[in-house]
Structure 1
Amino acid sequence: MTARTAGKRAAGLDRLGAIVIAALPACMAVANRSSPVVVGLAGLLLLAGSAAAGRPLRALLVAPLATPVGMAALAFLAWCSLSLAWSPLPGLSLRTLSEFLPALAGAYLVARLAPPHLASVAGPAAWMLVATCAYVVADLASGLVIREALGQRVAAFAFNRPLLVMMLLAFPLAAFLAASGRRGLAALVAACLAVAAWRSVSGATVLGLATGALTVCALRWLPARAGLGLTGAALLGALVLAPVEGDLLARTMPDALHQRLAGSSTRARVAIARSFGAAVAADPWRGAGYGTSGRFQDAPVAERIEPEMRFMLAVGHPHNSFLQVWAELGIVGATLAALVLVLTLRTLLAWKAVARSAALALLAAAGIVAFVEHGAWQAWWTAGLGAAIAWLRALHYQSEAPKDER
């Protein structure tokens, strides 16, 4: 094979991988757990393209793991794996890990390899997201007749995962478009997603969008270190206070507010947080073991808390990823998670203002959703984060490139 042929093959594989990433919103709308497959396929295509082009894969994929934030992340994953040694539910722990690790690997490949190739598909990716939002709004307005015609589950909440993934993608994608002069398209992406989120039953998407938007607005008036400090303080505060969240809310949240938010099941959420918080208090150091939240009521620590608190341990997870880390991995896991967060924020200090603002908005939006919504290790969320980080790093890549290379 000639060098020219190899170059064409590599370019084709890179292009195809970028197109697959651009198609993620539509894939999620059709199959709302498909992001691990989509991101994994994109990662493999980009890996094959890099290999065909002879790029230094060691520098691209291995060297970042030797940085402080990379070593902290590896230490966190090592503690997750080590906790299987004392997990009372090893089958469940292994199954959870077997779903999470492939999604994490695909997310890592995409985040590391995709950024230089995403500029060419930014426009199509934006229009794909806009079209997917239009489909969601139309189907919800019609009473889900499209989903019914396709033989899919007829439930409004089936669009919650696609909307959450699009929420993650929207911040870096819109920032990328605006930075490249396509402000109108960036505004259209934001507006369409806002309409779709508001029309849906996904309160978490609305909350994430609002939090990210407020973060962007606040960062316009704050120095870089202040913005990083406030975002870090909010996220670390959520992590530190997670074990006592339920007790704090039970004491401070008035009945009138519970009644106003009845559709969000706030009373049940407070009870769940109190139950898992009690479990953390009963075993604060090492936790019950990775992935045990799925059947936490069967863990030995459940027998050490009051009987009336045990019922809510059977919900599958605490609806707070920070609290789940505490319950499953203890203070060691929580400390390592905090270290990853602090080192990530320190890395962002060196980024240009536009990319840094988008990164902090993404962190804030993802953080608030993790605080109120799904389990920590869900593969669809992990893969969606990987795609969002790829767009974020594409923005950073663009902002760092000399003008004559853009």
Structure 2
Amino acid sequence: MNAAGRLYAMGGALLAIMPLAMVLANRSSPVVVGLAATAFLAGRLIEDRGGTAHRLLRPLASPLAGAGLAFLAWSLISLAWSPFPASSLRVAGEFLPTLAAAYLLASLAPGRIPRFAVRLGAIAVVLAGVLIAVDLATDLALGRALGHRAAAFVHNRPALTLDLVAGPLALVLWRGRSRGSAGAVLALGALGVMRSISGAAQLGLLAGGAMFAAARLLPWRIAIGLAGLGLGLALALAPVEGDLLARVMPEAAHARLEQSSSRARVAIARSFGAAVATDPWRGAGFGTSARFAETPVARTVPAEMRVLLGVGHPHNSFLQVWAELGLPGAILAALTLMLMLARIARLAQPDQATALGLIACAAAIAFVEHNGWAAWWTAGLGAAISWMREASRPRAEATSEMDGPA
């Protein structure tokens, strides 16, 4: 095995173990993805020499990349009016390097991931799902042995990571005629998700599975249309989500979702929606959600709704875009999402169905959970996209030579 091959083996192994690493340390994915991206970049530089820069820059000329870069540019411009520039820069300092690592990984890893890394990835997902289930069934015995907090929510991030990675990795295995391993990845990954206390992870699993089934059964134009409608409504209705849910969500549903704090989430959405309604044009500035209660716009919100602006983020990434980046951010986000669907429309089956399932899963989670700029979330998406692209790319000769055909 030559030097490039050894680096690809290292990068592939790191990509593979990421879901298991998240179970053992639920903030580890940005470091793992960063190291994997570095390994693949070094391998490509050795193998391609002068061609690596072209390989990385060429995709940035597409309309999809242009929309994404415009969104990032607006995010950086918004730092100019952020009332907390140090906090905004800290958020950007976590998000942007992880985003760059995810881009490097998704651009350079496909076609260079060794076959053993695919098998290792399957083992990692299976072990991650089993460990989550066993640890929760044994009152967090594993977590206490590792010195973790004795709280069931420590498995929420690993479960959400399984949501993202399991489907694309199963497609790689299925393409490699490892049908049993693909089934084990889906089944035991789902076990970890369903056993966790994360309602967002379970919602993502259901949404992703339903979208995959729809994309396999319906004509592709209808499936793409459904995905576009869902994403468009999620973004367009985000500022009024809280008011809508307050009117239509029955008390019985709140009682059933008590563990997910549904009443509090509705109240939080109403508070952030009121802030957006007060100043929808430019937002409070990138990365201000953590201190949103202290922003100037928060002082214009009725006092009874101001308290919940201090929870740290609106528990809805679409609403977070509105609150921090205003109407321009929402328009650029919508454009990016629609161009992404146009790109997916060109894929063949079952790649198209798997990609739509991943999008539905991620969108459902983003609609109810977490800070949209969280590094662990960005790293998980980068890993999932890397596996997704691996499934649709022919294996490189260098990989075949080092490990045999996949």
Task: Report Cα offsets for 1:118-168 as digits up to 9, x if no partner.
Answer: 351211210111012112222111111121122221111101101111110
1:76 aligned partner = 71
1:259 matches 2:255? yes
Look up the SS of the partner of 1:281 in the other structure: helix
Look up the SS of the partner of 1:338 in the other structure: helix
Counterpart amino acid of 2:54?
A: A
2:317 aligned partner = 321
Look up the SS of the partner of 2:370 in the other structure: coil
Whether the aligned pair in 2 keeps the contact of 1:130 and 1:189 (CA below 8 Å) is yes
2:149 aligned partner = 153
- 2:366 aligned residue (370, 374, 380): 370
Alpha-carbon distance between aligned partners in 2 of 1:200 and 1:223, rounded to the nearest angstrom: 34
Alpha-carbon distance between aligned partners in 2 of 1:233 and 1:70, rounded to the nearest angstrom: 21
Structure 1: 4+ residue segments shifted above 4 A: 398-401
What is the Cα deviation at residue 399 of structure 1? 10
Q: Which runs of 5+ in 2 are unaligned?
A: none
Task: Report Cα offsets for 1:213-253 as digits up to 9, x if no partner.
Answer: 11111112211121111111101110000000001011111
Deviates more, 1:341-350 or 1:287-296: 341-350
Whether the aligned pair in 2 keeps the contact of 1:118 and 1:391 (CA below 8 Å) is no
Whether the aligned pair in 2 keeps the contact of 1:119 and 1:394 (CA below 8 Å) is no
Alpha-carbon distance between aligned partners in 2 of 1:33 and 1:225, rounded to the nearest angstrom: 38
1:301 aligned partner = 297
Task: Report Cα offsets for 1:49-74 as digits up to 9, x if no partner.
Answer: 00011251122211111111111111
Task: Report Cα offsets for 1:355-402 as digits up to 9, x if no partner.
Answer: 11111000000000000010110000001100000000111214999x
Alpha-carbon distance between aligned partners in 2 of 1:400 and 1:257, rounded to the nearest angstrom: 51
- 1:19 aligned residue (5, 9, 13): 13
Whether the aligned pair in 2 keeps the contact of 1:205 and 1:369 (CA below 8 Å) is yes
TM-score of the two chains, using structure 1 as the length reference: 0.95
TM-score of the two chains, using structure 2 as the length reference: 0.95
Alpha-carbon distance between aligned partners in 2 of 1:60 and 1:138, rounded to the nearest angstrom: 43
1:388 aligned partner = 384
1:350 aligned partner = 346
What is the Cα deviation at residue 15 of structure 1? 1.4
1:241 matches 2:219? no
What is the Cα deviation at residue 286 of structure 1? 0.4
Whether the aligned pair in 1 keeps the contact of 2:112 and 2:396 (CA below 8 Å) is no
Alpha-carbon distance between aligned partners in 2 of 1:128 and 1:193, rounded to the nearest angstrom: 10
2:45 aligned partner = 51
Deviates more, 1:175-184 or 1:303-312: 175-184
Look up the SS of the partner of 2:393 in the other structure: helix
The equivalences for 1:138-217 within 5 A come to 138-217=134-213
Aligned length: 398
Task: Report Cα offsets for 1:77-106 as digits up to 9, x if no partner.
Answer: 000000000011111111100010111011
Alpha-carbon distance between aligned partners in 1 of 2:62 and 2:336, rounded to the nearest angstrom: 11
Identity %: 52
Alpha-carbon distance between aligned partners in 1 of 2:114 and 2:316, rounded to the nearest angstrom: 35
Whether the aligned pair in 1 keeps the contact of 2:289 and 2:312 (CA below 8 Å) is yes
- 1:89 aligned residue (80, 84, 87): 84
2:96 aligned partner = 101
1:283 aligned partner = 279
What is the Cα deviation at residue 185 of structure 1? 1.1
- 2:33 aligned residue (20, 32, 39): 39
1:117 matches 2:112? yes
Look up the SS of the partner of 1:204 in the other structure: helix
Alpha-carbon distance between aligned partners in 2 of 1:195 and 1:54, rounded to the nearest angstrom: 41
Whether the aligned pair in 1 keeps the contact of 2:213 and 2:353 (CA below 8 Å) is no
Alpha-carbon distance between aligned partners in 2 of 1:365 and 1:400, rounded to the nearest angstrom: 30
